[in-house]
């Protein structure tokens, strides 16, 4: 596959992932009413639960596959081999999040507790892959700092710090921290938007160098 195509896939991954979870979340919230899915409160991963859960599962797997191909393109292009590997870790995290379904959290699906007393093995694997992916992307933001102009360096550092900070706050929310729990889904969506935007900008930058 031509390298330009592989790099372009890195641009497409975030847009497709974001559009899918926004539409799926809006539809799920509308059908279930007050007792259902709340995008401001619940994580994107919770969309894998229930009968229509295959949509978000496929979304994770597609985004992970496109990002893994993007990592191959970065490796070939050579701005940073370590950076390409870390983007690959992010991709594997997405694939693992799709392969292993999350546990219920923050009262979704309806009738489940805010937090399981004993997490399932599958849910633990989902969280572990997700954490590895988040750390991989945050680290990649820092590794790619020296590969461009001062403006790019500021953008990359700011993106990494903001991504890591908002993801930590989202994690605290899903652990039922009183201050953040009601806005955990919103905070996570901000974090994902930052991460995907950085990946898109990286793809554009490498394509034009």
Digit-coded pLDDT (tens) for 32-82: 555 689 999 999 999 999 888 999 999 999 999 999 999 999 999 988 899
Q: Rounded CA gap, 56 and 46, in Å?
A: 9
CB 87 within 8 A of CB 70: yes
CA dist 198 and 58 (Å) reads: 23
Q: Which domain holds residue 10?
A: 3-207
d(CA 177, CA 159): 25
Helix ranges (H only) for 33-149 are 54-77, 81-99, 121-143
Mean local confidence (pLDDT), 165-183: 96
**Residue 167 banded pLDDT, cuts 50, 70, 90:** very high
Q: Please give the tally of structural domains in the chain.
A: 1
């Amino acid at each position: 596959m031509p390298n330009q195509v592989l790099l372009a896939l890195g641009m497409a991954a975030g847009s497709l992932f974001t559009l899918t979870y926004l539409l799926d979340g809006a539809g799920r919230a509308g059908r279930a009413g007050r007792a259902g899915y709340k995008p401001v409160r619940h994580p994107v991963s919770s969309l894998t639960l229930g009968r229509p859960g295959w949509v978000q599962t496929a979304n994770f797997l597609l985004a992970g596959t496109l990002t893994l191909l993007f990592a191959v393109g970065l490796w070939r292009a050579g701005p940073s081999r370590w950076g390409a590997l870390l983007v690959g870790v992010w991709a594997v995290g997405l694939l693992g999040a799709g392969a292993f379904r999350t546990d219920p959290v923050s009262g979704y699906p309806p009738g489940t507790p805010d937090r399981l007393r004993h997490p399932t093995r599958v849910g633990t694997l989902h969280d572990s892959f997700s954490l590895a992916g988040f750390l991989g992307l945050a680290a990649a933001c820092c590794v790619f700092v020296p590969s461009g102009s001062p403006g790019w360096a500021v953008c990359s550092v700011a993106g990494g710090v903001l991504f890591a900070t908002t993801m930590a706050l989202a994690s605290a929310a899903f652990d039922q921290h009183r201050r953040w729990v009601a806005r955990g889904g919103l905070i996570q969506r901000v974090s994902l938007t930052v991460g995907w935007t950085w990946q898109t900008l990286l793809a554009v930058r490498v394509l034009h160098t």
